[in-house]
Structure 1
Amino acid sequence: MLFYSFFKTLVGQPVVVELKNDLSIQGILVSVDQFLNIKLDDIRVTDEKRFPHMMSVKNCFIRGSVVRYVQLPAAAVDTALLQDATRRENAAEK
C-alpha cells in the first residue's frame, strides 16, 4: 500500500512509464489504483519511429503488471517522507 499511497500524491505530475515491451510513454498522471494501474493524459511516446501507431493516442490506461519502470520528477519526491513511511510500515509488520 505504500507505493499506492505514494503514487496518489503524484497525480497531476508528469511521469515517464516504461513498459516491459520497451515502449516508453511520457504523460501527466491522472490516476492510479491499488493494483498500480495507471491513467495518463497528454501522452507522448519517446521513440516515435519505433512505435508510429502511438502518435495519434492522447491518453491511455496502463495495466500495472506490464510496467517495468516509472520515472518521476525529482522535485515531486519527498525522500524523507517516503523513508519515514517505509520505516512505519516495516515496524507495523513486525
Structure 2
Amino acid sequence: MLFFSFFKTLVDHEITVELKNEICIRGTLKSVDQFLNMKLDNAGVVEDVRWPHLVSTKDLFIRGSVVRYVHLPSSAVDTQLLEDATRREAEAAKNKAK
C-alpha cells in the first residue's frame, strides 16, 4: 500500500513508464490506482523512430500488469519521507509477525 500512496503524490508530474515490451512512454501522470493502472496525458513514445505508429497517441491508459519500470524525476522523490514510511512498514510487519 505504501507504493500506491507514493504514486498518488506524483499526480501532475511528468514520468516515464517502461513497458514489458520495451516501449517507453513519457507523459503527465493524471491518475493511478492500487493495481498501478495509470492514465497519462500529453503522452509520447520516447523512441518515436522505433515506434512511429505511437507518435499520434496523446492520452493513454496503461494497465499495471504491463509496466516494467516507472522512471521518476529526482525532484519528485522525497527520499526522507520514503525512508520513514519504509521503516514504519517494516516495523509494523515485524510486530505483526510476533
> Normalised by the size of structure 1, how large is the TM-score?
0.97
Answer yes or no: is 1:53 the counterpart of 2:44.
no
In the TM superposition, 1:16-35 aligns within 5 A as 16-35=16-35
Equivalent position of 1:85 in the other structure:
85
Q: Deviations over 1:17-58 (max 9, x none)?
A: 000101000000001000011110001111111111111111
For structure 1, which runs of at least 5 residues remain unmatched after alignment? none
Using the alignment, how far apart are the partners of 2:16 and 2:7 within structure 1?
A: 13
For structure 2, which runs of at least 5 residues remain unmatched after alignment? none
Using the alignment, how far apart are the partners of 1:47 and 1:71 within structure 2?
A: 15
Q: Which has the larger radius of gyration?
A: 2
> Counterpart amino acid of 1:89?
E
The alignment's C-alpha RMSD in Å is: 0.7
Using the alignment, how far apart are the partners of 2:56 and 2:46 within structure 1?
A: 13
Query: How many positions carry a matched residue from both structures?
Result: 94
4+ aligned runs moved over 6 Å, structure 1: none
Using the alignment, how far apart are the partners of 2:92 and 2:31 within structure 1?
A: 27
Q: Percent identity between the aligned chains? A: 64
Give the secondary structure class of the aligned counterpart of 1:68: strand
